[in-house]
Structure 1
Amino acid sequence: MASLFDLYNYLGFHNPYYTEVGQQMISSEFEKIIEPVNSRTLDFTAVVQILSAGYAFGDRTLIQEVKKTPWMARPGVKKGDWEYFDLPNHQENLIEQEEAALRFYELLKKNLAAI
């Protein structure tokens, strides 16, 4: 499970799913999480969010018993606890578009080289 959260503090991290029905389970595969959930309830709020915005907000999924792990968080020591990563302080720096593109490109190269 630790490898699921290696990049949890990346802004583009794909949050795994979890359920606390029975024993807490966390997985990046929705099918594995939904399997042990016997009673499944459609989350109508998530349906409306998906129809209006194209995605469900926060930790919602279409099934109330299945959630997405919190953004910028990983599982804590105790069941149900989350350890949150502090967002970096960008000090409201304003830079030119070209400089931002160059920095972004360099960061992409660095991250791709690490894979």
Structure 2
Amino acid sequence: MLATGSSLEGKRRRLASLVDLSAEPWRKAAFYSNEEAIGIVSELYRRWEAGGMRGTPLDYASEEELDRLILIAERIEPTDVSDQQVKMLVAAIYGEEAAARPPRRRSRIVKMIKKILLIGSY
């Protein structure tokens, strides 16, 4: 089934509202930290550059790619900023699988990291 231009444009707007226009900066950071999203977005930038940088990189996305990016964005749960910071740090150090696992229990190191990251928030 071919997608119409208007349905693709609607999906582009939906993705932008979920990520780039979100009032939650950690939502954007979490989205662009997702390995699958990074892969898709990198490919879109490659196509965009090959196309003479006309339009935006999202203009080069297929309907399937837009659907996948929207799904990734929708799965990002609203969280406390400090929790999101810890998740991003764990993902950067140990990988996304480790960050996605539910915590077994709050360890002292996690508490220390949260305290260090939130010093300016008090």
Relative to the length of structure 2, the TM-score reads 0.28
Q: Which has the higher contact order (CA 8 A, sep 6+)?
A: 2
Q: By percentage of residues, which structure has more strand?
A: 1
Q: By percentage of residues, which structure has more helix?
A: 2
